Amino acid sequence: MRADRLVAALLLLQSRHRVTAADLATELEVSVATARRDLEALSAAGIPVYPQPGRGGGWSLVGGARTDLSGLSAPEAQALFLLVGPAAAVSNEAKAALRKLLRALPQGFRADAAAAADALLIDPARWGDREPTRPEVVTLLQRAVIRRRRVVLSYSGRSGTPSRRPVDPWGLVDKDETWYLLAGTDDGPRTFRVDRISAAEETDEPAPRPDDFVLAREWERIVGEIESRRSRTGATVLVDARYVSVLRSHFGRHCAVEAELPDGRARVRVAAPTPLDIARNLAGWGAGVEVVEPDSVRAELARIGTELLDRYQLEKRPEYS
């Protein structure tokens, strides 16, 4: 979680006189851009972190290096706990870390810091959905990543046929309640969906990891490839401008407004893997959406409409006795 990185960044700043964004990126295994944003977030939150440009520069805490949290002022402590508090609401580990950080503060600061930690809450469950659960195998995989030990997976791919695969676990990613394992294999780097892992066994064999591997950077590359495949087909549609947000909920980031029209409609560009995928998302809109192009999407909509008409014409409904 980002709050965990912010705390780690702060502790690193306290233990060293000065750090660069590159130093922090190496320590936290994130990109330099992410490390720089984290440092800027600390500064914006009121933590006395400031950059020093030029050769030999970097980021420092006002007052020099510190070895604990007792050097923070009351407003600084509140700012820090405001950042960490939401993570503690959904993570037992973060909650335990928060208690330890709280004990490290001067007695006079603790009440306000604790209040700041309770000021924000993250509720990861959507309305009407079950409480999100963390697969049990994640704990085993996380330990193997940290210990750098090879793991043998019982994995079912898209075909559904299970197989045993020895892998070198490099990192885990939780994206929208779906976990992914990034790992090295005999065929090169691979990404595995954790919910397709029926069993995992940690071995005593070492699991080497490339020296230049950065989890955040590799995941960014993977997401880029997936999103590229998901947007192979584009379509231009016209929709009432009031409902653009609803249309965006269907297509996510693959939905962009190109223009607002005088008749109150918006010209929107949407994308999906195939013309059929776009048509299926738009079919329920009926006449509320007009597809300008391409003809392949228009043809799929016409075919879906014909199928529905053939199936649901009233005169063709069977008689039941």
pLDDT digits (tens, 9 = 90+) for 208-238: 999 888 888 888 888 888 877 777 899 999 9
Looking at 188, 208, 228, the residue that finishes a domain is 228
- The CATH number that applies at residue 161 is 2.30.30.520
Q: What CATH number is given to the structural domain containing 103?
A: 1.10.10.10
Is 129 inside any structural domain? no
Cα–Cα separations (whole angstroms), residue 117 to 10, 44, 77? 17, 17, 10
pLDDT for the residue 65: 39
- Phi, psi of 47, rounded to the nearest 5 degrees: -70, 135
**80, pLDDT greater than 80:** no
Q: Tell me the Ramachandran region of residue 264: left when phi exceeds 0, alpha when psi lies from -120 to 50, beta otherwise.
A: left
Q: What pLDDT shows up at residue 129? A: 56
Provide the pLDDT for residue 109: 63
Residues 238, 220 within the same domain: no
pLDDT at 1: 46
The answer on 103 and 24 residing in a single domain is: yes
Kindly state whether residue 25 falls inside one of the protein's structural domains: yes
- 258 and 196 in a single domain? The answer is no
Residue 87, in any domain of the structure: yes
11 domain-assigned: yes
Do 100 and 146 belong together in one domain? no
178-194 confidence digits (pLDDT tens): 889 999 999 899 999 99
Cis peptide before 132 (omega within 30 of 0): no
Q: What is the mean pLDDT of residues 135-156?
A: 89
Number of domains in the chain: 3
Domain boundary among 228, 250, 271: 228
Contact 17, 23 (CB under 8 A): no
Asked if 218 contacts 179 with a C-beta cutoff of 8 angstroms, the reply is no
Tokens coding 245: 């947000």
Q: What is the spatial distance between Cα 147 and Cα 173, in angstroms, rounded to a whole number?
A: 17
Q: What is the pLDDT of residue 239?
A: 95
278 in the same domain as 202? no
Residues 48 and 154 in one domain: no
Residue-level pLDDT at 77: 65
Computed over every residue of the chain, the mean pLDDT equals 80
For tokens 């005169």, name the residue. Answer: 315
pLDDT value of residue 66: 46
d(CA 7, CA 2): 9
Grade residue 277 by pLDDT with cuts at 50, 70 and 90: very high
* Statement to judge: residues 224 and 239 lie in one domain: no
- Mean pLDDT computed over 70-88: 64
**Rounded mean pLDDT of 151-171?**
88
Task: Say yes or no: 89 and 158 in one domain.
Answer: no
CATH classification of the domain holding 308 = 3.30.70.920
Whether 89 and 147 share a structural domain: no
126 is a domain residue: no
- For residues 235 and 223, membership in a common domain is answered with no
Q: Do 158 and 110 belong together in one domain?
A: no
In this predicted model, which residue has the larger pLDDT, 10 or 291?
Answer: 291
In a domain, 73, yes or no: yes
Is residue 124 in a domain?
no
* Chain centre to alpha carbon of residue 229: 18
| Residue 257 confidence (pLDDT) above 90 | yes
Domain boundary among the residues 203, 228, 253 is at 228
My answer on whether 28 and 41 are in the same domain is yes
- pLDDT (mean) for 260-283: 94
DSSP string, 99-146: HHHHHHS-GGGHHHHHHHHTS-----SPTTPPPP---HHHHHHHHHHH
Strands 265-272 vs 289-293: parallel, antiparallel or unpaired: unpaired
Range of the domain at 12: 2-117
Backbone angles phi, psi at 276, to 5 degrees: -65, -40
Q: Which of 49-53, 297-301, 307-311 has the highest mean pLDDT?
A: 297-301
Residue 128 lies in a domain: no
Lowest-confidence pick of 45-59, 180-194, 231-245, 302-316: 45-59
